[in-house]
Amino acid sequence: MAELHEIEVTAAGWRADKLIAEALPELSRSAVQNLIRDGHVTCDNKIVQKSTKLAPGSVLCVEIPEARPLDVKAENIPLDIVYEDDDLLVVNKPKGMVVHPAAGNYDGTLVNALLYHCGDSLSGINGVIRPGIVHRIDKDTSGLLIVAKNDTAHRHLAEQIKAHSFTREYRAVVYGKIREDGTVDAPIARHPQDRKRMAVQNTPNARNAVTHYFVTKNFTGFTQLRLRLETGRTHQIRVHMAYIGHPVAGDPVYGPKKVITQLHGQCLHAGLIGFIHPRTGEYMEFEAPLPPYFTDFVKTLHAEDE
């Protein structure tokens, strides 16, 4: 059965696609565009386009069709499952694994593995390519992800992310010396020239982004950090740390041109996740230890007090 969401327009100047993205954060950008393109979004019984400006007081209706059978094969890929019940599971994703299928990566992804492990027990809210996926981490970021097994759990978890009550802590090694804890509060949007990158921008389509960081240890030329996300924008930690002059070590996109090749991507680990269970109302928190690639790299660094 299709889902129907009604979104009240409270201010002038909203575009349909931007309002939907704000009100339904569980939907990816491409999913929103596809819904509008296929005529599933109306305002006052008229089909809207993504650039349609909405009048205050009107109601935007978004119909999310029932998920079609997924044309992605289930694969028997081992999963490091930290927790599982009838509503959700928490997975410790290894570095190098893509979360969901996309051009060039139609197999070997976390979704392929989940389809084998869970069968039909995955939320359909995020469509046929991203079943159960409530939030994402980058291919070369390791760590914890929560996966929803049904639509009710998915909605509850997405609401927590939107309300910033979803705890996400990362561990990272960044370039340079950071002496004190701090916060980066800087909006993020798609890079104006390179659509594969994000950037700090003060533009109308930029979304607020807040990252808190805490110094764990100083090394010669590097700092190990614990970071807590208040928001969850694409590449947020990588963009914010590069913005303040301390890109994540090994980051091939936002870091120096001379990349630390031994890391095979950014030294960034989603180490802790906390949320209110959608069925029991209990707060749950899980932690994943630092993986070998991270600890091996730290062993090569020289602590300032040595």
Backbone torsions φ then ψ of 229, nearest 5 degrees: -85, 130
C-alpha distances out from residue 88 to 42, 152, 214, Å = 32, 10, 30
Active-site position among 17, 138, 151, 251: 138
251 in catalytic set: no
Return the active site residues. 138
